[in-house]
Amino acid sequence: MLEGKFEESSLMKKVVDAIKDSVKLCNFNCTEHGVTVQAVDDSRVLLISLLIGEASFEEYRCDRNITLGIDLESFNKIIKNGNSSDFLTLIAEDSPDNVLIIFEDKKKDRVSEYSLKLMDLDSDFLQIDDMEFDATITMPSSEFAKITRDLKTLSESLQIIVTKENVKFSSDGDFGTGNVVLKGFVDMDKPDESIKIDMARPINLTFGAKYIADIVKGTSLSESVTIKLADKSPALFEYKLPSGFLRFYLAPKFDE
Amino acid sequence: NVSQASLIEFFLKN
């Protein structure tokens, strides 16, 4: 049996918001260590990998591994009904047909209970071995989201160029070009505002702007985002959770 | 011109 209680429903709301536009159906795999999701978008370009660790829950028990096949659009309709500050509890039997979603306000004078029908989904797992990256950038997630939104207005592609000194985000469209250059710096007072650039080898990669626009829907999950890049390889975009992570792997575009 | 790569090219299916 699964019983997981969050101190606030806001975490699950943000997680669903972050992934629902990339994938529609996915299995939530529940183990004694927490909840994991791995899912690939329909075009096989973007992969999400989610870990909500046991410590993200106020109370958590999962005696046996349980798979919850969830339609995220439906789940989102229910999850939006809770207030962000409500306790959120997920309950499922060992071989469940549905999952119970319970919201309680902190005064305990209102309890809302919903049941979501589960689906039997083919799990389509990709094996991701530990990848080696040539460059790692950590920066404020809100800044990355703004850069993505701004440059997406010019072009369907977003180029990321990393040199020793800086990282350049660039777009080249029909009516003009744009770029944003960031240098590394340390903000002692607000570490999350810092920009850290680690580069072993220079990087020049191009990505579909619409996929990166989906990735930055994870912005509310974390103050900072880490971007890991390797030549001619998928990039990794990571938002850290209090215990766990939301990772996006994005395949690059290549010159023909 | 650029073409979009697929993740399948990089990650082997189990």
C-alpha dihedral over A53, A59, A65, A66, to 10 degrees?
-100
Instruction: Provide, as residue numbers in chain B, all residues whose Cβ is less than 8 Å from the Cβ of A251.
Output: 4-7, 9-10
pLDDT band at A107 (very low <50, low <70, confident <90, very high): confident
Q: Which A residues, 37 through 66, put their C-beta within 8 Å of a C-beta on chain B?
A: 40, 43-47
Q: Is the pLDDT of residue A1 over 60?
A: yes
Whether A124 has its CB under 8 Å from any CB of chain B: the answer is yes
Instruction: Summarize the confidence of residues A162-176 as an average pLDDT.
Output: 95
pLDDT digits (tens, 9 = 90+) for A19-42: 999 999 999 999 999 999 999 999
Pick from A46, A126, A206: CB nearest B13: A126
Taking the C-alpha atoms of residue A9 and residue A56, their distance in angstroms, rounded to an integer, is 11
Chain-chain contact of B5 with A45 (C-beta, under 8 angstroms): yes
- The tens digit of pLDDT for each residue in B1-14 reads 779 999 888 886 54
Residue of B nearest to A48 (CA): B7
Rounded distance, CA A113 to CA A81, Å?
Answer: 10
Q: Do B7 and A206 touch (CB under 8 A)?
A: no
Q: pLDDT at residue A129 above 80? A: no
Q: B4–A44: do the CB atoms touch at under 8 Å?
A: no
Q: Do A47 and B7 touch (CB under 8 A)?
A: yes
Q: In chain A, where does DSSP find H-type helix?
A: 10-19, 72-79, 141-152, 209-215
Tell me whether residues A252 and B10 touch, CB distance under 8 A: no
Q: Work out the minimum CA distance from B13 to partner chain A, whole angstroms.
A: 5
Closest CB to A128 among B4, B6, B11: B11
List Cβ<8 Å contacts ≥24 apart for A182-188. A182/A139, A182/A143
Closest approach of A2 to chain B, Cα-based (Å) = 27
Q: Name the pLDDT band for A108 (thresholds 50, 70, 90).
A: confident
Percent of chain A exceeding pLDDT 70 equals 100
Q: Please give, rounded to a whole number of angstroms, the shortest distance from the CA of B8 to a CA of chain A.
A: 7
**What is the SS3 assignment for A205?**
strand
Mean per-residue pLDDT, A82-98: 95
Residue pairs spanning A and B at CB distance below 8 A: 55
Residues of B engaging A, defined by a Cβ cutoff of 8 Å: 1-14
Nearest to A32 by CA among A58, A1, A64, A55: A64
Per-residue pLDDT, B13: 55
Judging contacts by C-beta atoms under 8 Å, the chain A residues touching residue B9 are: 251
- The average confidence (pLDDT) of chain A is 95
| Dist CA A169 CA A157 (whole Å) | 10
Q: How confident is the model at residue A165 (pLDDT cuts 50, 70, 90)?
A: confident
pLDDT in the model for residue B14: 43
Q: For A193-212, what is the mean pLDDT?
A: 96
**Per-residue confidence band for A124, with pLDDT thresholds at 50, 70 and 90:** low
Comparing A143 with A127, the larger pLDDT belongs to A143
How much of chain A, in percent, has pLDDT values that exceed 90?
91
Cβ <8 Å between A45 and B4: yes
Condensed to tens digits (0 to 9), the pLDDT of residues A38-66 reads: 999 999 999 999 999 999 999 999 999 99
Put simply, the answer to whether B2 touches A253 (Cβ < 8 Å) is: yes
State whether residue A127 is helix, strand or coil.
coil
C-alpha distances in Å from residue A77, one per residue of A4, A110, A131, A143, A199: 20, 19, 36, 29, 42
Average pLDDT for residues A163-183, to the nearest whole number? 96
Q: What is the DSSP letter of A200?
A: S
CB A152 within 8 A of CB A140: no
